[in-house]
Amino acid sequence: MLTSEKSGMPETISASVHPIRLTIGIPTFNRHECLASTIKRLVPQLTSECKLLIVDNASQPPVIDTVGPLLAELGISTARVVRNKTNIGGGANILRCMELCETEWLWILGDDDRIWDDAVEKILEGIDTHPTCTCVNFAQNAYPRNEASTTRGRTEFLSVLGCDFYNVFFISTSIYRVKAILPSMRYGYMQISSYAPHVAVLLMGVDTSGEVYFSANTIVEWVPARKGSGWSPFWIERGLPLLLDLPIEARDRSLLKKILRSRLHLKGLLAAYLDVLCYGLRTQDLAVCAQLYRMIALRRATVSRSPIEWLLIRGLLATLLAPRLALTVTQSVYRGVTGRTLQVRTAAAGLSHEERI
């Protein structure tokens, strides 16, 4: 049954009844061409056990207007398009997929990630083989696995997460058993600012006995974001340390801190610094640059033990006391190192006008 929900009112487009146990949830915003391409690649893999859920984060034009005819043309028997009343942010839209899922299992698929031709087959095989797991996590092309493993409880999960962080952080590699993660949804919403709310849900969902199966199979290929639509390093550097606010045991928090420390690098601090200056250049509001960068300093202090990192942060903050001079110097250095102007980076990445804190 293909349905569209606008302002909370479901509209039946066509009808068919199948025994369904896997929802493929696609959170999307203003990427109509990417979404259409992903759907076309997905359709040949769908079976009667699969349901498609598209959560439209208030795109303009609405997704149902641009992709609805394609869904009907391709003959997808069971699909649901839900449109949020307003843009609630990417992290919250990911959690909406969890909230709206009505089947036993959920695969959250990025609208611009390239799935492999046998992805659904591998997923169904994985949940058949591990029906009681909280999550079945697959590899991706950029971070392959040599062998499979299973963890039980949060401590074991964190021990594997330390060397496999990006396969869990990447949304398109995890298949969740919905009943097991729903009680932890509130922690995801609390952790929206971490830019990893799905990781927060899983961390709390495994608790003391939940199992996670780490498959050696690969189901998806990461594709770099199109120009201007990627996440700023600012948000990653500021956000990930917020996961330490989760109510977990001291031993597990120490493990998580070690994981985050190994993932947050000095080059990330420099990239975030550039994006802060790009924001000032774009908005002509340089006074806010030091305020934004101070947010990173406060959060990184919770995971960092490096005096070099501390000195770097303090030094970069000091330059922002004279933001116009910092911008002038950075523009010259950036052009000398990369051969491009800072204006080019400003147009392609960095904080947007709507993301000012």
- For residue 239, the Cα-to-chain-centroid distance in whole angstroms is 12
pLDDT digits (tens, 9 = 90+) for 188-198: 999 999 999 99
Q: Is the pLDDT of residue 72 over 60?
A: yes
pLDDT digits (tens, 9 = 90+) for 247-263: 999 999 999 999 998 88
At residue 8, the pLDDT reads 46
Query: What residues does 214 pair with on adjacent strands?
Result: 137, 149
Burial class of residue 177, CB neighbours in 10 A (0-12, 13-18, 19+): buried
At residue 227, the pLDDT reads 58
Domain covering 2-221 in this structure, CATH number: 3.90.550.10
- What's the pLDDT band for 264 if we cut at 50, 70, 90? confident
What does DSSP assign to residue 143?
A: B
| Rounded (5°) CA angle 108-259-161 | 45
Q: Is the pLDDT of residue 13 over 50?
A: no
Give 151's contacts (C-beta < 8 A, 6+ positions apart): 157, 159, 160, 206, 211, 212, 214
Distance (Å, rounded) from C-alpha 322 to C-alpha 169? 36
At residue 349, the pLDDT reads 63
- What's the pLDDT band for 226 if we cut at 50, 70, 90? low
| Rounded (5°) CA angle 223-110-139 | 65
At residue 15, the pLDDT reads 41
- b/e per residue 251-272 (b: at least 16 CB within 10 A): ebbebbbebbbeebeeebbebb
Q: Is the pLDDT of residue 3 over 80?
A: no
- What's the pLDDT band for 187 if we cut at 50, 70, 90? very high
- What's the pLDDT band for 352 if we cut at 50, 70, 90? low
Q: Taking residues 113-137, what's their average pLDDT? A: 96
Residues of the chain with CATH 3.90.550.10: 2-221
